[in-house]
Copies of this chain bind each other. A is one copy, B any other.
Amino acid sequence: MSHVIVTDPPRADLVDVDTLAELGVATVHEAMGRVGLGGPELRPSQQGARIAGTAVTVLSWPGDNLMIHAAIEQCRPGDMLVVTTTSDSTDGMFGELFATALQRRGVRGVVTTSGIRDLAELRAMNFPAWSAAVHSQGTVKASAGSVNVPVTLGRVVVRPGDVIVADDDGVLCVPRSEVSTAIAASKARLHKEEAAREAFRKGELGLDRYGLRPVLADLGVEYVAAETYYGG
């Protein structure tokens, strides 16, 4: 593997990015066909944040933040930094000094499979982070890595310029080439969900709304009175 810093990757359009932020992780994930999620270990630093940005990706050696420094120079307004390591690590690779530099450049947040620190300061700055750990463990600047190469967040591959959507429910990657389709499908889903919400508020059952009674019957699921099942 040669180590590279890839410059000026094309990004998704920021108008689309903002639309995806409003739609939120769960809705866009469903609309895309239930793909694109980072794992459940990625938790937010603060409640209630719902943002999206274009990915600048970092692949670092564990315990080493050198490549984050290199990545910051590649960031533009509307970006979101995605930091991964070549093997498992919980070190606190990201903290408020990086956040300060990123906020100056218009970056909206960070996602990392490693750890973050300076949690109180990040909250005070309103710079949201999603991470697999909170840990103060400091890092060095000694080993090579890459910027803007494809990286993985759990099962999803993130490429630079892809859209990262993140909220209380976790982190989603929308590939740049699928942004328009994702938005259209999400809006359609939103309408469907709103109709379902209204129906459920009025007492309709999913069993009826989605035609699930025959599914249950076909699967051999039987209704039994409790007094029969558990005895008199």
The verdict on A3 contacting chain B, using a C-beta distance below 8 Å, is: yes
Beta-carbon contact of A4 and B155 below 8 Å: no
Beta-carbon contact of B89 and A89 below 8 Å: yes
Measured between alpha carbons, how far is A55 from B8 in the docked complex, in Å? Answer: 33
Measured between alpha carbons, how far is A137 from B34 in the docked complex, in Å? Answer: 7
Interface string of A156-192 (1 = CB under 8 A from B): 1100100000011110100000000000000000000
Beta-carbon contact of B142 and A100 below 8 Å: no
The verdict on A5 contacting chain B, using a C-beta distance below 8 Å, is: yes
Q: A25-B136, A29-B137, A48-B120 are in contact. Are A35 and B87 (CB under 8 A)?
A: no
Shortest Cβ gap from A12 to chain B (Å): 14
Beta-carbon contact of B9 and A201 below 8 Å: no
Beta-carbon contact of A87 and B91 below 8 Å: yes
Beta-carbon contact of A219 and B144 below 8 Å: yes
Measured between alpha carbons, how far is A217 from B150 in the docked complex, in Å? Answer: 22
Q: A69-B207, A197-B97, A206-B101 are in contact. Are A86 and B135 (CB under 8 A)?
A: no
A7: B residues at CB distance < 8 A: 223-226
Beta-carbon contact of A226 and B30 below 8 Å: no
A219 nearest in chain B by CB position: B144
Beta-carbon contact of B101 and A155 below 8 Å: no
A98: B residues at CB distance < 8 A: 206
Q: Select A134's contact among B48, B120, B168, beta carbons within 8 Å.
A: B168
Q: A33-B1, A170-B135 are in contact. Are A143 and B63 (CB under 8 A)?
A: yes
Shortest Cβ gap from A65 to chain B (Å): 9
Q: Select A212's contact among B66, B197, B219, beta carbons within 8 Å.
A: B66
Provide 6 A-B residue pairs closer than 8 Å at the C-beta atoms, listed in order of the A residue. A4-B222, A9-B230, A26-B117, A70-B212, A70-B216, A117-B170
Q: A4-B222, A152-B157 are in contact. List 7 more A-B contacts (CB 8 A).
A: A5-B216, A5-B222, A40-B115, A70-B216, A70-B221, A104-B203, A148-B229
